[in-house]
Amino acid sequence: MKKIIAVHDLSGIGTASLGTVIPILSVMGSYVCPLQTAALSTITGVFENFTFTDLTLHIKETIKHWKQLNMEFDYIYSGFLGSPNQVGTIIDAKKMFGCKLMVDPVFGDDGQLYPTMNNKMVESMKELVSNADIITPNITEAMFLLGEKEFPADFVTIKEWLVRLCDAGPDTAIITSCNIDGEMYVCCYCKKADEFYKIKCCYHDGSFHGTGDIFASVMLGAMARGQEIKEAVSLAVDFVSKAIEETKKLNSDPRLGVAVQKVIKELL
């Protein structure tokens, strides 16, 4: 059983971050050790007046305690951070435990930064990405990481972006939500194999919060149980689509996020 440190926030309302990471990785057979970066009353961006508590000191002390216990880990999976000051702690943890680091650089979508994020977080995330083995930005996050101003319009440009992201440090870069000619794709590049590939996604009207967390969790869960990266990405794409389809059937408040519980058994 692989042990994974899940470095994410926890929101009281809105299915995202640890609310999806823990159940997905657990049902896929990994032992999940949550490292909470922030506590929020709700997810950001869709609810007004949400509460936000930065837990930077907490994650430093937790890592210190785990080291004292001689714990060993296979992966660190970093997502939503509560402060740019947490980046150094995550990098230190990777070196301390000698494990692989997957970074989902959560800081924006739809061409804009999330409410709790700023340019300092983007710059700090660049440092974290340079220490990662795998990264999974959405197209907005990739744009900010590379200092670009417009979304790519073709696969040639997307591949160039992926290569540049890998040149910064990671061996594998995966960009989600790539819109090319009205079709959605997940695009991947593995530096070691010099392989680029794209996987078409089903397009769903509407806004579905937390899908990036779901995608990355399923992908890592598949890799942790021995599946190749391409197979893991395909599984994650299919699962996200099925989860959205089930959510649409519920006709519930879209701010609550994706109903992962309706399809999670398919990951067993």
CA distance 258 to 102: 23
pLDDT digits (tens, 9 = 90+) for 172-206: 999 999 999 999 999 999 999 999 999 999 878 77
pLDDT at 188: 98
> Is there a contact between 211 and 255 (Cβ–Cβ < 8 Å)?
no
In the DSSP assignment, the letter for residue 173 is E
Give every CB contact of residue 157 below 8 A, 6+ residues apart in sequence.
none
Of 49-53, 166-170, 217-221, 247-251, minimum mean pLDDT range: 247-251
Specify the amino acid at residue 55. L
Is the overall model pTM greater than 0.75, yes or no? yes
Mind listing the domains of the chain with CATH numbers?
Answer: 3-267 (3.40.1190.20)
pLDDT at 207: 78
pLDDT digits (tens, 9 = 90+) for 36-89: 999 999 999 899 999 999 999 999 999 999 999 999 999 999 999 999 999 999
> Is there a contact between 6 and 20 (Cβ–Cβ < 8 Å)?
no
> Is there a contact between 45 and 209 (Cβ–Cβ < 8 Å)?
yes
Tokens of 152: 């790519």
pLDDT digits (tens, 9 = 90+) for 123-174: 999 999 999 999 999 999 999 999 999 999 999 999 999 999 999 999 999 9
